[in-house]
């Protein structure tokens, strides 16, 4: 069987230890990343469900998201160790195992969380039921997250193709995020509130169908590459993975340390962009929540073009590190400009074809606020997409670096150690949002579409939507000063791995 697998794997090999995958498989595998983001999107609106049906006040509902992300982080090392200990066989490899486990757990438990809880008798049984299945839900999310990182390692190590992984993954995720924002706005208007149980029932159904399709496509696309030939260097006893390897990785892998700093600060700002913040910006400040969906779709499409050229040109010619640096500087400048636009111009004049503005006026040409904010949002969004989308291929580079350093591929452990540290820091985002709302008077319920505008609401929305993202970009720039995986260094790493494999054939 090993000889048979080796023969099949040769058609994906190039000189110098480079292996690749057909373009359609790279595009299709992005479905797993899309599915993970869809299920994470459920948790971003979870606080409304907790507040409305599980019986939690604002701060407690926001803190629940923090607690669950911490739990998610705790399970990461255990799942990662389990995945790296799994050798795989002719029927299933590490990536496909994670896809099956993650997809099944997320589908089943999310159904119970958002379709059964509100039908239970009011009282203690609801929070107990919801918390129990949420804990299992996050184990599924960990498996699905690991499938992306492990899959990126065995799918390709061709520098040009890892850039394509970034582009396709980001396009899938960003377009679907824009579509789901439109779905959120439409369902909120349809049912009169995001707190409606019917809103959550229908929203879950849409997420479940699209995510399941994405996972199935990913499974099909990774099949011929999900074999030990693309994820193992040695087969002798010294190459066995041990739990204490986590400490060795964290202590000696400087590129991973820098990626943790960059990613955790970015994710902290992202987790602060909750649905409550979006509702305040568009439903209260702009005074037309329906506009949020259309606005997100318009700006995302143009931003994706920016991101594609950014990664395609900068990433290929100058390397992923340089792309991260350039993207971060762009975010700092344009987020600053965006804040000034919201403060000194009239947000209620935001207008798009097919929508009325905040004053109830039909579209009659683009206002100055719309033009200025659109330009800043699409360019700034393009820069932000560059910084976020290159994380997975950079972690794939970190995996290769660790394999060359230690002689072992530890893709599961690298992925979950990275995720654990990321979640440990970023998990406090929703709690900070809840505290922010409580400080300005919203202690028992989140602002909704009937809440009146106030300057304090605008300030909270701008801080959590732009301010923290700006701070995260500053941390990115600092971290990249100590990140050593340049294109030249990665060429050395791949040659080292190739020689190590030849010695163990």
Task: State the average pLDDT over residues 106-123.
Answer: 93
pLDDT digits (tens, 9 = 90+) for 191-202: 888 888 999 999
Domain with residue 131: its CATH number is: 1.20.1250.20
The span from the CA of 328 to the CA of 310, in Å, is 12
**Comparing C-alpha atoms, which of 88, 371, 402 is closest to residue 226?**
88
Total of domains in the chain:
1
pLDDT of amino acid 231: 63
DSSP 55: -
Gyration radius from the chain CA atoms: 23
The span from the CA of 294 to the CA of 311, in Å, is 26
Of 145-159, 194-208, 490-504, least confident by mean pLDDT is 490-504
pLDDT of amino acid 3: 46
Above 90 in pLDDT, residue 285?
Answer: yes
pTM over 0.85: no
pLDDT digits (tens, 9 = 90+) for 472-485: 999 999 999 999 99
Task: State the average pLDDT over residues 36-50.
Answer: 85
The span from the CA of 300 to the CA of 356, in Å, is 20
Angle subtended at Cα 338 by Cα 337 and Cα 343, rounded to the nearest 5 degrees: 100
Contact 125, 159 (CB under 8 A): no
Task: State the average pLDDT over residues 68-95.
Answer: 80
Above 80 in pLDDT, residue 438?
Answer: yes
Task: State the average pLDDT over residues 312-337.
Answer: 83
Above 90 in pLDDT, residue 469?
Answer: yes
Of 63-72, 171-180, 310-319, least confident by mean pLDDT is 310-319
Counting residues of the chain whose pLDDT is more than 70, the rounded percentage is 90
Cβ contacts of 192 within 8 Å, gap of 6 or more: none
The span from the CA of 454 to the CA of 457, in Å, is 5
pLDDT of amino acid 386: 80
- Is residue 56 in some structural domain? yes
Counting residues of the chain whose pLDDT is more than 90, the rounded percentage is 38
User: How is residue 43 written in tokens?
Assistant: 């948790």
Count CB atoms within 10 A of the CB of residue 234.
16
pLDDT of amino acid 47: 77
Cβ contacts of 458 within 8 Å, gap of 6 or more: 280, 285, 342, 343
User: How is residue 42 written in tokens?
Assistant: 């459920």
Count CB atoms within 10 A of the CB of residue 449.
16
pLDDT of amino acid 172: 87
What is the Cα 145 distance to its own chain's centre?
A: 9
- Is residue 355 in some structural domain? yes
The span from the CA of 242 to the CA of 492, in Å, is 27
Of 385-389, 394-398, 480-484, least confident by mean pLDDT is 385-389
In DSSP terms, which residues pair with 356 in a beta bridge? 362
Contact 329, 312 (CB under 8 A): no
Cβ contacts of 365 within 8 Å, gap of 6 or more: 351
- For residue 68, what are the CA distances in angstroms to 62, 275, 431, 456? 10, 17, 11, 29
pLDDT digits (tens, 9 = 90+) for 176-193: 888 898 898 889 889 888
Task: State the average pLDDT over residues 196-211.
Answer: 95
User: CB-based burial of residue 124 (10 Å sphere; 0-12 exposed, 13-18 middle, 19+ buried)?
Assistant: exposed
Task: State the average pLDDT over residues 261-279.
Answer: 86
Task: State the average pLDDT over residues 275-283.
Answer: 90
Task: State the average pLDDT over residues 12-32.
Answer: 85
**Comparing C-alpha atoms, which of 240, 215, 245, 244 is closest to residue 86?**
240
Q: What is the mean pLDDT of the chain?
A: 85
The residue to which tokens 């990913």 are assigned: 218
User: How is residue 53 written in tokens?
Assistant: 């049906």
Above 90 in pLDDT, residue 454?
Answer: yes
Residue 19, classed as helix, strand or coil, is: strand
- Is residue 9 in some structural domain? no
- Is residue 235 in some structural domain? yes
Give residue 225's domain range. 19-500
Contact 21, 225 (CB under 8 A): yes
- Is residue 4 in some structural domain? no
pLDDT of amino acid 234: 54
Angle subtended at Cα 331 by Cα 330 and Cα 337, rounded to the nearest 5 degrees: 95
Of 147-156, 297-306, 337-346, 469-478, least confident by mean pLDDT is 297-306
In DSSP terms, which residues pair with 13 in a beta bridge? 19
Of 108-112, 120-124, 283-287, 314-318, least confident by mean pLDDT is 314-318
What is the Cα 245 distance to its own chain's centre?
A: 26
Q: Which of 47-51, 176-180, 225-229, 333-337: highest mean pLDDT?
A: 333-337
- Is residue 14 in some structural domain? no
- Is residue 426 in some structural domain? yes
Read out DSSP for 401-429? HHHHHHSS--HHHHHHHHHHHHHHHHTTH
pLDDT digits (tens, 9 = 90+) for 147-179: 988 888 888 888 777 777 777 887 888 888 888
pLDDT of amino acid 109: 97
Above 60 in pLDDT, residue 470?
Answer: yes
Read out DSSP for 131-164? HHHHHHHHHHHHHHHHHHHHHHHHH---HHHHHH
The residue to which tokens 């993207």 are assigned: 327
To the nearest 10°, the Cα dihedral for 461, 466, 470, 475?
Answer: 60
- Is residue 11 in some structural domain? no
The span from the CA of 210 to the CA of 350, in Å, is 31
Q: How confident is the model at residue 59 (pLDDT cuts 50, 70, 90)?
A: low
User: How is residue 340 written in tokens?
Assistant: 């000034």
Above 90 in pLDDT, residue 31?
Answer: yes
């Amino acid at each position: 069987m090993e000889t048979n697998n080796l023969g099949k794997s040769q058609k994906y090999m190039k000189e110098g230890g480079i292996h690749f995958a057909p373009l359609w498989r790279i595009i299709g595998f992005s479905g797993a990343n899309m599915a993970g983001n869809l299920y994470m999107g459920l948790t971003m609106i979870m606080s409304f469900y907790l507040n409305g049906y599980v019986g939690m006040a604002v701060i407690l509902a926001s803190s629940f998201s923090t607690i669950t992300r911490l739990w998610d982080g705790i399970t990461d090392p255990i799942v990662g160790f389990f995945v790296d200990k799994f050798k795989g066989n002719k029927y299933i490899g590490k990536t496909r195992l994670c896809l099956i486990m993650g997809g099944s757990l997320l589908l089943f438990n999310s159904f119970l969380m958002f379709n059964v809880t509100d039908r239970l008798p009011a009282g203690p049984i609801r929070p107990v039921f919801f918390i129990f299945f949420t804990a299992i839900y996050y184990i599924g999310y960990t498996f699905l997250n690991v499938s992306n990182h492990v899959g990126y390692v065995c799918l390709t190590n061709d520098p040009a193709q890892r850039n394509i992984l970034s582009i396709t993954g980001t396009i899938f995720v960003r377009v679907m995020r824009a579509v789901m924002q439109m779905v959120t706005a439409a369902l909120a208007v349809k049912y009169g509130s995001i707190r409606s149980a019917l809103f959550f029932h229908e929203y879950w159904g849409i997420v479940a169908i699209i995510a399941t399709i994405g996972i199935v496509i990913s499974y099909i696309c990774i099949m011929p590459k999900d074999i030990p030939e693309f994820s193992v260097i040695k087969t002798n006893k010294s190459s066995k993975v041990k739990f204490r390897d986590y400490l060795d990785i964290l202590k000696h892998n400087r590129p991973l340390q820098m990626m943790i700093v960059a990613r955790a600060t970015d994710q902290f700002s992202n987790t602060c962009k909750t649905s409550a913040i979006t509702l305040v910006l568009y439903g209260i400040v702009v005074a037309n929540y329906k506009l949020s969906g259309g606005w997100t779709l318009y700006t995302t499409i143009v931003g994706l073009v920016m991101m594609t050229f950014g990664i395609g040109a900068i990433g290929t010619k100058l390397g992923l590190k340089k792309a991260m640096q350039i993207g971060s500087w762009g975010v700092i400048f344009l987020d600053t400009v965006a804040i000034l636009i919201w403060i000194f111009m009239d947000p209620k004049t935001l207008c798009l074809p097919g929508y009325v503005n905040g004053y109830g006026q039909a579209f009659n040409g683009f206002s100055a606020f719309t033009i200025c904010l659109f330009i800043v949002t699409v360019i700034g969004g393009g820069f932000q997409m560059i910084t976020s989308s290159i994380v997975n291929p950079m972690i794939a580079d970190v995996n290769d670096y660790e394999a060359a350093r230690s002689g072992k591929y530890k893709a599961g452990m690298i992925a979950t150690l990275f995720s654990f540290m990321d979640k440990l820091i970023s998990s406090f985002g929703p709690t900070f949002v809840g505290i922010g709302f409580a400080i300005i008077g919203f202690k028992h319920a989140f602002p909704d579409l009937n809440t009146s505008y106030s300057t304090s609401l605008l300030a909270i929305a701008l801080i959590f939507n732009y301010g923290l993202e700006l701070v995260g970009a500053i941390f990115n720039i600092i971290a990249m000063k100590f990140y050593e995986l340049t294109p030249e260094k990665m060429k050395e790493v791949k040659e080292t791995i190739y020689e190590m494999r030849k010695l163990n054939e």
